[in-house]
Structure 1
Amino acid sequence: MKPSLVLVILMCIEIIGSQVVMAQDFSVFVVRHAEKTVETSNPSLSEKGVIRAKVLAEMLSKSNLEAVYSTPFKRTEQTVAPLASALNLSVQNYPAGGGEALAEQLKQAGQSALVVGHSNTVPAIVRALGMEVENLTEKDYGDLFIVQFHNGQAQLIRLMIPMP
């Protein structure tokens, strides 16, 4: 093979490789469901939770999400419903104990997504995305974890979803 052809091939590989890296810029938003009623089994959102879910939808309406994920419980599905509706995305269910696998799937796909979980699953999901966070308590609502991936490096931003 001629040296110039080898050089052209190597340059093409470099260009294609850099485009793959650029395509790996994405964000994963992870949040616990909003406030729930006091029912014991599969509760719905409380009035305050419905308001927080709407505020979350407003906050993320321009975030270029490609997918939304929720565990198959009323409170998580109701938390993500306003945003999914606004973005015309279907809610994809994942098992409550399967957040770590979902995090790996999102990292591999380079897909920007919102993942709604529970106080005992959200920290594990964020950790599976490569960040360190403390555990949440049953009283913690409104924490929004944003794991941004840029050129293979992850950065964590933690926000609070405000209540009007």
Structure 2
Amino acid sequence: MANINDNHVDDDRSNIISGIGKPIKQWFFQDFDQNSEELDAAFKNNMLVVATLIVAVTFQTGIAPPGGAWQDNKGHEAGKAILASNHFHLPYNLFLILNTLAFSMSTQIILMPVYHRKLYFEVVVATLAMVATYGMAVWSLSPDEEVRLRFVSMAALFPYLWRLSYQTFKTFIKKNETTKYIDS
């Protein structure tokens, strides 16, 4: 008897969790009819706007970190981030990792909808130029070369490696499910 109730509770939870997405979309896009194609298009457009805003903000904070940069050489190196002047560099390193992660994830979100569409090459070149500019700015502001290379590289590559591993795993699972049904 306990097993039946446990299964019923699990089913209720999964139904609630899976049903959350639709009301949220309806609430955010109240002007649209219940047509899911319109909702999906509006969602994609809104995600592009949000991703673009995040890229702009993270780019700006990457080239002008909180606290700014030292202007003189009195006890520190001019042009280096003031936030990094802490002996442990922990606040700056944490800022650098999180800001770069948000920047990289947002650039990935911008590139995904234009994949294999008109002007894809141009968007990729512009995005790569922006990423290179961000990287050079962060590189020049950071005091420790080894740390900045390691942290920036890991944070910048993480979203792309995550997407690649997710797509690979998804394809692997799909192939195994197809093979399983064919063998049965």
What is the TM-score normalised by the length of structure 2?
0.29
Greater share of residues in strand: 1
Larger Rg: 2
Higher relative contact order (CA 8 A, sep 6+): 1
Greater share of residues in helix: 2
